């Protein structure tokens, strides 16, 4: 049978989303509850639903599938819930506490201002490797990679035996300066193979070969901690899909945005962290390209959190210091910012008598007051409902009725303490949450030196369409695009990404440069390129399918934070220094301002080297509909009172009845499967050829 | 002469002129703008003290120079930015303050904590008038003086220290003035660092200026100004409400600052905190005269230390507005004292000496105050490790290029115990939740050294029902160094413990720097062994360095360094024995401490009773009067003390055995049994402390021997006050 389908699967905390795309670009979206005890079951259930929609059996769907792409939260959840395996750590003797000390930084890593201010409540994270499973071994390498103390093999063997006796299932090995000289780590792996077969092993020189033993160790330990679970889950799912005749490869989404093989992901499972949100951002990049927009702000409004990603000049910036559960990581990870602001965020009154919203959330149970499941505190969803933005009868496609009276009662309770009417409180909540979301966007854009006025904003996630016009207007994006199928957009986005492998080096070079520096750097790049090519070859890719890009971390002498500059291919020489400095300073002036540049010819330093290899995957076609200018009146379904500087009788449209080419002016409400799109007054909404609705200030 | 802080006359908008939602939006935005300002500076800086330890802070201020929002970084800087702006407004010709101007100082009497902490501030104009100020204070690695790093061991007055810039216009039209910058860089050993730091300050203030203009365009200048007043009012309203919930009273604490840079003299810093209604007075009367050495601090730093403690303890859920704090807080201090020194006092170590010792005195008194409030007792914390055992390394690096670097592991000490949990091990410093310590690999790439080990040090913390967090210890040795390295030690609390406990908890160990001269370290390395304890390394000579020292470290020397832990809370004999044993298993306390301090020894079940009996036997006696009956609780006093009214009489009694300690209005110490010991007996690690006449006085309930309080003081001094409560009819 001809392989005509491509499938994207995103396992989220509540739902497993699935998107099947056929050869014509026709999308079929399905959802199933996530089955935490056995994640494969939820995936298969979602596939069942999709197959049902297509009128075929699941096995037939799988046999006809050319590629299945999969994003998973297994790694993220294993860390957040401390559900990884019993893990041991072997490290340089004298430095056993590095992971526990966490540079002191771990007490606040990833926390919000509000939490950091409250010193009596700060704590370091619960250890992923308990202190009794950390073993120091005598060995020492110095900054130049020279061995100061030989590896004490007797100590290493004893450490391995003790850890095995203590029942560990995974062992991380992280020695000082191993990213310069990995000999001792590799020798310990040989000893582990002999004495602890079957134990999952991670070496820091392979997982995160960069300067900084805390972050390197933490990344390696987390990799070991989630490794056995992710590896066995991925292998299990792949086996079940293959048994059923999966027609093409199963590929895994990585935090850095590229796809990789199951084999590769099983060795570096930490790279699958947060791979769901990554899918959404990649999807947004693809759409941006389709629209000819290189600068995109991706906004995902869920039930408990609001996530923002950025695309600049068609590129997605990486977060070089990501944090999970207060642990710092050194992995390539798309920059995604997140705050506790979503439909379920709770409103409250603080000690100073001010209205506040979030970050606590009512979750799915009891949920917002209007769910009628016992929640008595008002949430953003309650405010949306009272303001008329949500239809009480068509929430989740009518599967769940919302109770406006319960929402009002909850708002009134808060209103009493604020001397405000319930509707005023609702409006206050609505404005505050929108302002918080706009602030996060500002943090991701303006504070990084990017002007949101040069960007289009793409909104997805269940509550995105309700709030998009408001937070979008506040930050001044040039257009706001609300996508069709916005609830499963992350799964769809995974189908648009390429297979990516990265190698990194840690050679340090400082000005004044001498002959030979760059020749050496060029050789490093060639070696890293070789590693990347070899990995692609193992997966069956031909050399000519792979595109390689070289990058360098550059900074002024004495600085610590680097900016990334691209380097041309081919051999390097002393002449390469000029163009590198020029690219660095151009970027520097953009981020920090012209006044911040040092005088011409100031010394620069080159720190990390990266080679990014990409094998392009042709994204599934998106069918363009013919545009027929119209006013959408065929979709008009009546009116509802909704707040637009006062309650107004507002026209309500059925989204599935709108045609490409329809244009409406606000105020208007567009009821869609799984969401409610709000078009405020002063905005117009146009449906484009891909059925995306663009909101623009008129 | 006694001076007091005047209550600032910040313009207040008419109440209700701004809706609460707009207020919340703008407040949030101002915080984001201020934090962005700080982070831009950190990213651009070339100094590890900035990008790694975050020794800087940013502030947004009202047009008249009162702090609206301070960042989460070094808090002491925040208040001093206010001071500088107010001084510019008072002294600089108004028609010579223009848009694009930025003013600089590194003068302690203008607002810098010490000469390294240069502040750059800029007025933010709108329609020709100043609508706000923003400022950024950050530490420069070296700003001149005879000693690398500019903490001048050996200085007797300011003329032996780095040049001071009282107030200069460093920037015009957003561009650095080359003439003024030239003077600043010419005097420093680290001109490259300082040039980057100046640009970091400039760029971050420029961005703030732009952001504030965007905000005004969005909301209008009237709303922006009204919102400023509202923020200060709002914070003031909240903290006044908090203060009203605390019983009126007075709490006392004192610390000693040792070694003035020339001699190991002790300087007392005394703090009496008095709370009446919704106001607080911090009175430093009785503090030692200014020292003939670099440990003094000037008035701005004193204010920074006090308001920093206030922000940490009472502003845990409101914006950090220094302007609001000043409205409810009065500081009484005599000029010419070690924490309110007058020119030409030497102050080059002020940030880590006078300022931090002041903080410790205030923080302890403040914690005692919070313990007496039912609502806020869980905010009380014993003192965190504060005074840095600060180490500056200098010499030639592996390539033979001169370098100077500040080690910064002093930000790795232990946190103070809480009333419900232990202090965080290696929790950092109290005055900056943002700071951190460098990676060992970063340290070794900056200086030609090997960090042989770095770990959490067992027994370095104070003990108690909840213990302090463990401090950090390391062993350093030169490596691939073309010539001997210079190690400059600027420490304090080497002669006596820094982080005293509260409510019967014990103090942490003293800080130390010990050099094992001519050790056999390299022989051990050759034999395939890395030592993790000084006891494993033989040497020619063990040299305990004074608190302020300047020494050469050569091949084979091993420098042992301790930044101590946090203080304890409550009587250690009341700690859950399971927690004690778990700490022993984790190597955070020794078996000897478990036995002798915690009374936990699986072989000796009755040990705790024995220890309590021994305490009372060795203590001065006090009358034992039990007051039975539950009575009418008024408020807590300490871990095992309560204020209670029984049969109409208000008194303070032990909650363990109901022994009456004192009448309500009296200091309970008067009714306690007291045992005096050498403080070195408190902790084996204190053996390295130089001899002084300091003693430990432990106070027990005379009825049951439960520990209530512990003071470190000079042998000849009378008993120190602890706390007294005000009029009992006004109890909350």
Best A110, A112, A120 member to test B by mutation, with max B CBs in 10 Å, is A120
Nearest CA-CA distance, residue A326 and chain B, Å: 14
Structure-block tokens of residue B37:
């300002």
Contact between residue A120 and residue A203 where contact means Cβ atoms under 8 Å apart: no
Measured between alpha carbons, how far is B670 from B668 in angstroms, rounded to an integer?
A: 5
Nearest CA-CA distance, residue A563 and chain B, Å: 10
Out of A113, A354, A561, closest to residue B51 by CB:
A561
Task: Check A104 against B529: CB less than 8 A apart.
Answer: no
Contact between residue A87 and residue A221 where contact means Cβ atoms under 8 Å apart: yes
Chain A residues touching residue B428 (CB < 8 angstroms)? 104, 107
Residue B18 or A342, more confident? A342
Q: Give the model's pLDDT for residue B731.
A: 42
Chain B residues touching residue A150 (CB < 8 angstroms)? 528
Measured between alpha carbons, how far is B329 from B309 in angstroms, rounded to an integer?
A: 11
Q: Does A86 touch chain B (CB under 8 A)?
A: no
Nearest CA-CA distance, residue B566 and chain A, Å: 13
Percent of chain A with pLDDT over 70: 96
Q: Which of A334-348, A538-552, B420-434 has the highest mean pLDDT?
A: B420-434
- At residue A629, does pLDDT exceed 80? yes
Q: What's the pLDDT tens digit per position in B519-537?
A: 999 999 999 999 998 888 9
Structure-block tokens of residue A385:
């409902």
Out of A103, A132, A136, closest to residue B439 by CB:
A103
Would you give the end-to-end CA distance of chain A in angstroms? 51
Q: Which of A132-146, A619-633, B42-56 has the highest mean pLDDT?
A: A132-146
Out of B237, B418, B454, closest to residue A120 by CB:
B418
Nearest CA-CA distance, residue A696 and chain B, Å: 19
Structure-block tokens of residue B521:
């370290």
Q: What's the pLDDT tens digit per position in B569-593?
A: 999 999 999 999 999 999 999 999 9
Out of B40, B421, B440, closest to residue A95 by CB:
B440
Task: Check A446 against B193: CB less than 8 A apart.
Answer: no
Q: Give the model's pLDDT for residue B158.
A: 97
Q: Does B677 touch chain A (CB under 8 A)?
A: no
Residue A641 or A621, more confident? A641
Q: Does A443 touch chain B (CB under 8 A)?
A: yes
Nearest CA-CA distance, residue B517 and chain A, Å: 20
Out of B29, B42, B528, closest to residue A150 by CB:
B528
Nearest CA-CA distance, residue A395 and chain B, Å: 28
- At residue A398, does pLDDT exceed 80? no
Q: What's the pLDDT tens digit per position in A642-683?
A: 999 899 999 999 998 999 999 999 899 999 877 899 999 999
Nearest CA-CA distance, residue A418 and chain B, Å: 10
Out of A120, A215, A559, closest to residue B378 by CB:
A120
Q: What's the pLDDT tens digit per position in B107-136?
A: 999 999 999 999 999 999 999 999 999 999
Chain A residues touching residue B36 (CB < 8 angstroms)? 443, 447
pLDDT band, very low/low/confident/very high, at B11 (cuts 50, 70, 90)? very low
Q: Does B532 touch chain A (CB under 8 A)?
A: yes
**HEC secondary structure over A125-166:** CCCCCCHHHEEEECCEECCCCCEEECCCHHHHHHHHHHHHHC
pLDDT band, very low/low/confident/very high, at B242 (cuts 50, 70, 90)? very high
Beta-bridge mates of residue A480: A457, A695
Task: Round the average pLDDT of chain B to a whole number and report it.
Answer: 92
Lowest mean pLDDT among A228-242, A289-303, A445-459, B49-63: A445-459
* pLDDT mean over B642-658: 96
Q: Give the model's pLDDT for residue A152.
A: 98
pLDDT band, very low/low/confident/very high, at A448 (cuts 50, 70, 90)? low
Helix axes A39-54, A213-243, angle to 10 degrees: 50
Q: Does B443 touch chain A (CB under 8 A)?
A: no
Task: Check B234 against A558: CB less than 8 A apart.
Answer: no
Q: Give the model's pLDDT for residue A338.
A: 79
Quickly tell me which residue has 């700490």 as its tokens: B583
Q: Is A647 left (phi over 0), alpha (psi -120 to 50) or beta?
A: beta
Q: Which of A58-72, A293-307, A348-362, B293-307 has the highest mean pLDDT?
A: B293-307
pLDDT band, very low/low/confident/very high, at A511 (cuts 50, 70, 90)? confident
Task: Check A100 against B456: CB less than 8 A apart.
Answer: yes
Would you list the DSSP string of A308-359? EEEEBTTB--B-SS-EETTEE--S--B-EEEES-STTEEEEE-TTS-EEEEE
Nearest CA-CA distance, residue A130 and chain B, Å: 10
Q: Does A428 touch chain B (CB under 8 A)?
A: yes
Measured between alpha carbons, how far is B119 from B138 in angstroms, rounded to an integer?
A: 7
Q: Does A214 touch chain B (CB under 8 A)?
A: yes
- What ipTM, to 2 d.p.? 0.92
Question: How many other CB atoms are found less than 10 A from the CB of residue B144?
Answer: 23
Nearest CA-CA distance, residue A1 and chain B, Å: 56
The CA distances from residue A465 to A11, A285, A468, A676, B448, in Å, are 22, 19, 5, 6, 57
- At residue A14, does pLDDT exceed 70? no
Task: Check A593 against B437: CB less than 8 A apart.
Answer: no
Percent of chain B with pLDDT over 90: 79
Would you give the end-to-end CA distance of chain B in angstroms? 35
Best B29, B46, B188 member to test A by mutation, with max A CBs in 10 Å, is B46
Q: What's the pLDDT tens digit per position in A192-242?
A: 999 999 999 999 999 988 889 999 999 999 999 999 999 999 999 999 999
Q: Residue A466 — φ and ψ, nearest 5°?
A: -75, -35
pLDDT band, very low/low/confident/very high, at B13 (cuts 50, 70, 90)? very low
- At residue B730, does pLDDT exceed 60? no
pLDDT band, very low/low/confident/very high, at A397 (cuts 50, 70, 90)? low
Task: Check A211 against B316: CB less than 8 A apart.
Answer: no
Out of A124, A442, A593, closest to residue B32 by CB:
A442
Residue A429 or A475, more confident? A429
Q: Give the model's pLDDT for residue B577.
A: 97
Task: Check A101 against B450: CB less than 8 A apart.
Answer: no
Best B25, B29, B212 member to test A by mutation, with max A CBs in 10 Å, is B25
Chain A residues touching residue B316 (CB < 8 angstroms)? 117-120
Best B530, B563, B587 member to test A by mutation, with max A CBs in 10 Å, is B530
Question: How many Cβ pairs closer than 8 A exist between chain A and B?
Answer: 231
Q: What's the pLDDT tens digit per position in B168-223?
A: 999 999 999 999 999 999 999 989 889 999 999 998 999 899 889 988 998 899 99
Using the CB atoms, write b or e for A402-423: b if 16+ within 10 Å: bbbebbbbbbebbbeeeebebb
Q: What's the pLDDT tens digit per position in A313-365?
A: 898 887 767 888 899 998 888 888 877 788 888 999 877 778 889 877 776 56
Contact between residue B155 and residue B346 where contact means Cβ atoms under 8 Å apart: yes
- At residue B16, does pLDDT exceed 60? no
Chain A residues touching residue B558 (CB < 8 angstroms)? none
Q: Is the pTM of this model over 0.80?
A: yes
Q: Does B48 touch chain A (CB under 8 A)?
A: yes
Q: Give the model's pLDDT for residue B727.
A: 65
Out of A122, A140, A354, closest to residue B433 by CB:
A122
- Exposed / middle / buried, residue B647 (Cβ in 10 Å: 0-12, 13-18, 19+): exposed
Q: Give the model's pLDDT for residue B2.
A: 38
Task: Check B199 against A595: CB less than 8 A apart.
Answer: yes
Q: Does A508 touch chain B (CB under 8 A)?
A: yes
Residue B177 or A25, more confident? B177
Nearest CA-CA distance, residue B479 and chain A, Å: 9
């Amino acid at each position: 049978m001809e392989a005509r389908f491509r499938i994207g699967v995103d396992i989220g905390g509540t739902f497993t989303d699935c998107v099947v795309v056929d050869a014509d670009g026709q999308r079929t979206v399905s959802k199933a509850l996530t089955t935490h005890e056995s994640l494969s079951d939820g995936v298969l259930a979602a596939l069942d639903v999709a197959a049902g929609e297509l009128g075929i059996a699941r096995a037939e769907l799988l046999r006809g599938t050319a590629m299945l792409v999969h994003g998973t939260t297994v790694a993220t959840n294993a860390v957040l819930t401390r559900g990884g395996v019993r893990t041991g750590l072997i490290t340089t003797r004298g430095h056993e506490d590095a992971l526990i000390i966490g540079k002191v930084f771990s007490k606040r890593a990833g926390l919000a201002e509000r939490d950091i201010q409250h010193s009596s409540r700060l704590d370091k994270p619960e250890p992923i490797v308990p202190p009794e499973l950390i073993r120091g071994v005598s060995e020492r390498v110095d900054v130049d990679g020279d061995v100061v103390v030989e590896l004490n093999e007797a100590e290493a063997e004893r450490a391995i035996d003790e850890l095995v006796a203590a029942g560990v299932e995974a062992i991380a090995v992280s020695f000082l300066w191993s990213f310069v000289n990995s000999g001792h780590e590799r020798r310990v792996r040989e000893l582990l193979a002999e004495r602890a077969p079957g134990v999952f092993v991670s070496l820091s020189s392979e997982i995160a070969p960069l300067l900084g033993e805390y972050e390197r160790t933490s990344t390696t330990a987390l990799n070991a901690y989630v490794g056995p679970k992710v590896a066995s889950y991925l292998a299990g799912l792949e086996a079940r899909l293959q048994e059923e005749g999966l027609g093409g490869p199963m590929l895994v989404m990585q935090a850095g945005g590229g796809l990789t093989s199951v084999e590769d992901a099983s060795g570096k499972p930490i790279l699958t962290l947060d791979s769901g949100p990554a899918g959404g951002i990649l999807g947004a990049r693809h759409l941006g390209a389709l629209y000819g927009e290189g600068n995109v702000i991706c906004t995902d409004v869920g039930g408990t959190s609001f996530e923002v990603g950025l695309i600049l000049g068609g590129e997605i910036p990486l977060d070089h210091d990501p944090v999970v559960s207060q642990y710092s990581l050194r992995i390539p990870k798309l920059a995604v910012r997140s705050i506790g602001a979503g439909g379920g965020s709770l409103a409250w009154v603080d000690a100073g008598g001010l209205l506040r919203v979030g970050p606590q959330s009512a979750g799915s149970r009891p949920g917002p007051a209007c769910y009628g499941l016992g929640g008595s505190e008002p949430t953003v969803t309650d405010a949306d409902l009272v303001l008329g933005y949500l239809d009480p009868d068509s929430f989740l496609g009518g599967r769940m009725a919302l109770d406006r009276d319960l929402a009002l009662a909850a708002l009134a309770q808060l209103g009493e303490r604020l001397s405000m009417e319930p509707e005023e409180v609702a409006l206050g909540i609505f404005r505050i949450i929108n302002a918080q979301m706009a602030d996060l966007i500002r943090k991701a854009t303006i504070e990084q030196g990017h002007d949101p006025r040069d960007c289009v904003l793409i909104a997805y996630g269940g509550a995105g369409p309700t709030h998009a016009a408001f937070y979008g207007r506040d930050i001044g994006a040039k257009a706001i695009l609300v996508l069709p199928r916005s609830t499963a957009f992350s799964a769809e986005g995974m189908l648009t990404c390429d297979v990516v492998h990265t190698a990194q080096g840690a050679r340090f070079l400082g000005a004044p440069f001498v002959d030979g520096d760059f020749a050496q750097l060029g050789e490093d790049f060639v070696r890293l390129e070789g590693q990347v090519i070899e990995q692609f070859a193992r997966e069956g890719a031909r050399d000519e399918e792979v595109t390689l890009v070289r990058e360098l971390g550059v900074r002024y002498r004495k600085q610590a934070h680097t900016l990334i500059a691209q380097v041309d291919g081919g051999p390097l020489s002393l002449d390469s220094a000029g163009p590198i400095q020029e690219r660095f300073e151009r970027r520097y002036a953009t981020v920090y301002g012209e006044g911040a540049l040092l005088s011409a010819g100031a010394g620069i330093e080159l720190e990390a080297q990266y080679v990014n290899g990409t094998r392009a995957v042709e994204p599934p076609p998106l069918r363009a509909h013919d545009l027929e200018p119209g006013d959408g009146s065929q979709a008009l379904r009546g009116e509802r009172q909704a707040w637009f500087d006062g309650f107004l009788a507002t026209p309500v449209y059925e989204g599935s009845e709108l045609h490409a080419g329809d244009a409406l002016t606000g105020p208007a409400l567009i009821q869609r499967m799984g969401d409610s799109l709000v078009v405020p007054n002063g905005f117009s909404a146009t449906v484009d050829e891909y059925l995306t609705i663009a909101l623009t200030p008129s | 002469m006694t001076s007091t802080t005047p209550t600032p006359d910040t313009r207040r908008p008419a109440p209700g002129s701004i809706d609460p939602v707009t207020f919340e939006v703008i407040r949030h935005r101002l915080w984001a703008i201020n934090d962005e300002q700080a982070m831009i500076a950190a990213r651009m800086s070339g100094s590890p003290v900035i990008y790694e330890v975050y020794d800087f802070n940013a502030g947004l201020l009202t047009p008249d120079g009162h702090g609206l929002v301070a960042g989460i970084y070094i808090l002491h800087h925040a208040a001093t930015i206010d001071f500088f702006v107010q001084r510019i407004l008072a002294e600089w010709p108004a028609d010579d303050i223009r848009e694009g101007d930025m003013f600089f100082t590194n003068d302690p009497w203008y607002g810098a904590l010490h000469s390294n902490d240069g502040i750059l501030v800029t007025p933010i104009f709108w329609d020709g008038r100043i609508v706000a100020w923003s400022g950024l204070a950050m530490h420069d690695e070296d700003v001149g003086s005879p000693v690398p790093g500019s903490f001048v061991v050996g200085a007797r007055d300011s003329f032996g220290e780095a040049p001071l810039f009282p107030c200069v216009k460093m920037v015009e039209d957003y561009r650095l003035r080359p003439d003024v910058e030239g003077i600043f860089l010419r005097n420093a050993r680290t001109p490259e660092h300082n040039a980057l730091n100046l640009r970091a300050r400039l760029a971050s203030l420029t961005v703030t200026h732009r952001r504030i203009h965007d905000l005004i365009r969005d909301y209008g200048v009237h709303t922006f100004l009204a919102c400023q007043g509202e923020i200060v009012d709002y914070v003031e309203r909240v903290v006044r409400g908090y203060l009203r919930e605390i019983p009126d009273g007075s709490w006392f604490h004192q610390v000693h600052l040792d070694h003035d840079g020339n001699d190991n003299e002790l300087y007392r810093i005394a703090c009496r905190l008095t709370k009446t209604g919704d106001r607080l007075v911090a009175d430093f009367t009785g503090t030692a005269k200014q020292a003939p050495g670099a440990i003094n601090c000037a008035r701005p730093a004193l204010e920074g230390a006090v308001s920093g403690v206030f922000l940490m303890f009472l502003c845990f859920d409101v914006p950090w507005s220094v302007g609001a704090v000043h409205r409810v807080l009065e500081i009484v201090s005599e000029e010419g004292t070690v924490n309110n020194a007058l020119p030409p006092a030497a102050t080059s170590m002020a940030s880590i000496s006078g300022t931090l010792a002041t903080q410790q005195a205030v923080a302890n008194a403040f914690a005692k105050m919070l313990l007496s409030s039912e609502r806020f007792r869980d905010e009380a914390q014993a003192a965190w490790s504060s005074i840095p055992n600060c180490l500056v390394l200098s010499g030639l690096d592996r390539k033979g290029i001169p370098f100077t670097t500040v080690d910064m592991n002093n930000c790795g000490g232990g946190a103070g115990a809480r009333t419900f949990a232990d202090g965080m091990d290696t929790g950092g410093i109290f005055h900056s939740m943002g700071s951190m310590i460098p990676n060992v690999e970063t340290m070794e790439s900056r200086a030609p050294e090997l960090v042989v080990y770095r770990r959490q040090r067992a027994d370095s913390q104070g003990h108690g029902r909840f213990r302090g967090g463990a401090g950090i210890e390391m062993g350093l040795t030169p490596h691939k160094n073309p010539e001997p390295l210079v190690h400059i030690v600027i420490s304090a609390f080497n002669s006596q413990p820094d982080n005293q406990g509260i409510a019967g908890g014990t103090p942490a160990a003293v800080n130390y720097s010990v050099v094992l001269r001519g050790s056999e370290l390299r022989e051990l390395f050759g034999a395939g062994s890395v030592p993790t304890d000084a006891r494993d390394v033989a040497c020619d000579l063990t040299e305990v360095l004074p608190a302020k020292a300047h020494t050469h470290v050569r091949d084979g020397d091993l420098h042992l360094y301790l930044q101590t832990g946090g203080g304890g809370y409550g009587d250690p004999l009341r700690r859950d024995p399971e927690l004690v044993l778990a700490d022993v298993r984790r190597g955070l306390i020794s078996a000897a401490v478990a036995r002798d301090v915690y009374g936990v020894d699986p072989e000796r079940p009755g040990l705790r009773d024995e220890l309590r009996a021994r305490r009372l036997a060795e203590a001065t006696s006090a009358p034992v009067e039990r007051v039975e009956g539950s009575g009418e609780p008024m408020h807590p006093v300490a871990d095992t003390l309560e204020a209670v009214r029984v049969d109409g009489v208000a008194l303070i009694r032990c909650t363990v055995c109901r022994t009456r300690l004192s009448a309500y209005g009296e200091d309970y110490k008067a009714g306690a049994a007291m045992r005096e010991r050498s403080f070195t007996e408190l902790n084996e690690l204190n053996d390295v402390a130089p001899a002084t006449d300091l003693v430990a006085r432990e106070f027990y309930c005379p009825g049951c021997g439960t520990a209530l309080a512990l003071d470190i003081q000079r042998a000849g001094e009378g008993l120190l006050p602890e706390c007294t409560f005000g009029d009992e009819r006004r109890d909350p």
